[in-house]
Structure 1
Amino acid sequence: MSIHFLKGGLQTSLQDLGRHGFRRYGIPNNGALDPVSLQIANWLVSKPLDSACLEITQAGPVLEFTQNLAIAVTGAHFELLLNDRSVPMHETLFVKKGDQLKFGKLLNGARAYLAFSAEPNVPKIMESYSTNFMANFGGLGGRVFRNDDTLSLNNCFIPETRTTPRDLQLQFGDNYQIRFIQGREWSCFSHEIQQAFLDSAYHVTSQSNRMGMRLKGSAVKTEQSLSMTTTPITAGTIQIPPDGQPIITLADGQTTGGYPRMGQVITADLPVLGQLKANDSISFQEVEIKDALDLLSQKNSMFNRLLSN
């Protein structure tokens, strides 16, 4: 049983919800950049929500299946062709031995997630299947899938048919407002600089990757020279390097940094970052910690309610 990659795509990798509890050893969380879409895909094939999926970035693969099984695709909206016939996202799809699935044109978003009703036959590293590109471990040999690769599968099953609730069939654009709480060095910036940061629109640059999202726009400058020591950072930390162009740490980002921390993207908005691509626009909205917690609670409640039906 396997999935054969006739074409690997731009950056297709195996990801789950990441590895947790290892940051003290310098190991990032890794895992899906849009964990909400990954969990919905797993729900569609009746698997635990934290199961491993294929994360497909911008230009998708061409896959051939060597076993009857169920699949589902969520996240970024691609044109999908099964044996050259259009098939929908956000539904349980049943494929047969020899069927081929092609990811066509990307319509919106940046990353799609393909779940399959089987288990990947690769080892877990630090309790996760997620691929760590920088250290070359996890997934399939710690790398992206290439042309003619094969992902072996175990424990295949055929689930019931499901469709994603309409409220969770998200559409992605090219202009986003990202909410954040103040970072530890927020007060190192003057009120004028803080306001300029809030009033500005930034664009995602092509130098962004799974480690960090580099932005381009109005430079954020401190009025004093900061002597920064190494400080903890995590997914969503907004750092300001010497050129004043913000960098947002993502799932594969390092565990410590040396730049001023302007803010921290709230957990409820982290999945949105996984759907941004080069030239997409970002603006920032400051919220209080209490609001961030309330927003996360509301989002989780809606998510759990919709997927319990």
Structure 2
Amino acid sequence: MIEILSGAPLATVQDLGRLGALRWGVGYSGAMDPLALICGNLLVGNDRDAAAVEAQLFPFEARFNADGAIAVTGADCAATLDGAPLLPWASTPVRAGQRLRLDHPKPGAWSGARAYVCVAGGIDTALALGSRSTQLRGAIGGHEGRALRPGDVLPVGAAPAGASSEPCGVMPPALAMPLEVDGLPAIRVLPAAEYACFSPASQEAFWSGAYKVTPQSDRYGFRLFGPELLPSVPLELRSHGIVPGVIQVPHGGQPIVQMRDAQPSGGYPKIATVIEADLWRLGQIPIGRSVRFLRATWAEAIEAARVNERWIDEVARLVDLFRTRSARS
């Protein structure tokens, strides 16, 4: 079991998300950085979709009430175990009573904004509509459908058979697959249904300008600030289905990117949609950091998803190879 010690708000239990429930008005939820979650699970021998703790405000502290293994992925938070530094993006054994602390992410171009604490066996809260992910707005899943509080104790599943106790680490995807424009993190997008309704000047500004993630951003949506985006003529739409990644533009002209806890419908015009393969990149952009948008084609979006999958498969291969060699030595 894991006992939560810190009062850092908005830490939640997340897996890869609640798929197939949009028809009931229930959004996806799930990890803002699925690559970090998958990699952490691979490092400790879990299935890729095992639930973990997602921390997004720091410091975060927890105590382990049983022996096991963990991996801290995502943002580089100068993690320590009983005060001793932990390697980021690496598995490490833990003993009952040991205390984990995650500090504020280190400054840097790709320092990240969210960290994941993956534990061998996975966080074993009850399934809700096929997922353990927390959706705060509907109080669904996770631990009592809410953010974690000091004193909460999270159950952990049985450790996977054959998991090695030897530490094993990998290169983070932000370093293995960097994507920048003019020194800023870049996010690839596809023009959306109402793209042609925006003025030529707004279209040009969208591609050439930088957009800052504002403090009004959360797991539901990232509110951005940058060049104003205006339609050529006033535009009113009926509410319609939307998904994470959709970039809507309210009347004020500042875009909102729908994130993992996005509601399943909306009525603002859509200028673009973040490709699924880059949602993890956007999920790790800290408040106050700016991004650039790159226009992608459908074929490029499909290839980007394949690149992510190949990276995950290579991580799985290398971790399995390490475990096999460790077992023989």
TM-score range for the pair, normalised by the shorter chain length:
over 0.9
TM-score by length of 2: 0.89
Q: Distance in 2 between matches of 1:282 and 1:120?
A: 33
Matched letter for residue 138 of structure 1: G
Matched letter for residue 118 of structure 2: A
Q: Residue 163 of structure 1 aligns with which residue? A: 168
- State the shift of 1:275 in Å: 0.4
Tell me: CA distance 1:306–1:85, structure 2 relative to 1, closer, same or farther (3 Å).
closer
**2:131 counterpart (119, 128, 131):** 128
Q: What is the correspondence of 1:192-271 to structure 2 with a 5 Å cutoff?
A: 192-271=201-280
- State the shift of 1:90 in Å: 1.7
Q: What is the correspondence of 1:82-97 to structure 2 with a 5 Å cutoff?
A: 82-97=81-96
Matched letter for residue 87 of structure 2: P
Contact residue 92 and residue 167 of structure 2 kept, 8 A = no
Q: Distance in 2 between matches of 1:167 and 1:105?
A: 18
Q: Residue 113 of structure 2 aligns with which residue? A: 110
Q: Distance in 2 between matches of 1:87 and 1:219?
A: 43
- State the shift of 1:217 in Å: 1.2
- State the shift of 1:167 in Å: 5.9
Deviates more, 1:299-308 or 1:95-104: 299-308
Task: Select the structure that is richer in strand.
Answer: 1
Tell me: CA distance 1:175–1:43, structure 2 relative to 1, closer, same or farther (3 Å).
same
Q: Distance in 2 between matches of 1:250 and 1:167?
A: 22
Contact residue 229 and residue 258 of structure 1 kept, 8 A = yes
Q: Distance in 2 between matches of 1:169 and 1:64?
A: 29
- State the shift of 1:17 in Å: 0.2
Q: How large is the RMSD of aligned CA atoms in angstroms? A: 1.8
Q: Distance in 1 between matches of 2:213 and 2:314?
A: 33
Deviates more, 1:12-21 or 1:223-232: 223-232
- State the shift of 1:206 in Å: 0.2
- State the shift of 1:175 in Å: 2.9
Matched letter for residue 217 of structure 2: S
Q: Distance in 2 between matches of 1:213 and 1:139?
A: 22
- State the shift of 1:239 in Å: 0.4
What SS class does the counterpart of residue 40 from structure 1 fall into? helix
Contact residue 46 and residue 122 of structure 2 kept, 8 A = no
Q: What is the correspondence of 1:53-68 to structure 2 with a 5 Å cutoff?
A: 53-68=52-67
- State the shift of 1:298 in Å: 2.4
Contact residue 190 and residue 274 of structure 2 kept, 8 A = yes
Q: Residue 190 of structure 2 aligns with which residue? A: 181
Deviates more, 1:37-46 or 1:275-284: 275-284
Matched letter for residue 234 of structure 2: S
Tell me: CA distance 1:169–1:247, structure 2 relative to 1, closer, same or farther (3 Å).
closer
**1:288 counterpart (297, 308, 311):** 297
Contact residue 242 and residue 263 of structure 2 kept, 8 A = yes
Q: Distance in 2 between matches of 1:272 and 1:81?
A: 25
Tell me: CA distance 1:288–1:70, structure 2 relative to 1, closer, same or farther (3 Å).
same
What SS class does the counterpart of residue 308 from structure 1 fall into? helix
Q: Distance in 1 between matches of 2:239 and 2:104?
A: 43
Q: Distance in 2 between matches of 1:38 and 1:123?
A: 19
Gap runs ≥5 in structure 2: 319-329
Contact residue 70 and residue 118 of structure 2 kept, 8 A = yes
Contact residue 69 and residue 91 of structure 2 kept, 8 A = yes
Gap runs ≥5 in structure 1: none
- State the shift of 1:192 in Å: 2.2
Deviates more, 1:299-308 or 1:215-224: 299-308
- State the shift of 1:168 in Å: 3.6
What SS class does the counterpart of residue 264 from structure 1 fall into? strand
Q: What is the correspondence of 1:145-160 to structure 2 with a 5 Å cutoff?
A: 145-156=148-159, 159-160=163-164
Q: Residue 2 of structure 2 aligns with which residue? A: 3
The CA deviation string for residues 178-197 of structure 1, in whole angstroms up to 9 with x for no partner, is 11111000010122221121
Q: Residue 34 of structure 2 aligns with which residue? A: 35
TM-score by length of 1: 0.94
Q: Distance in 2 between matches of 1:157 and 1:178?
A: 36
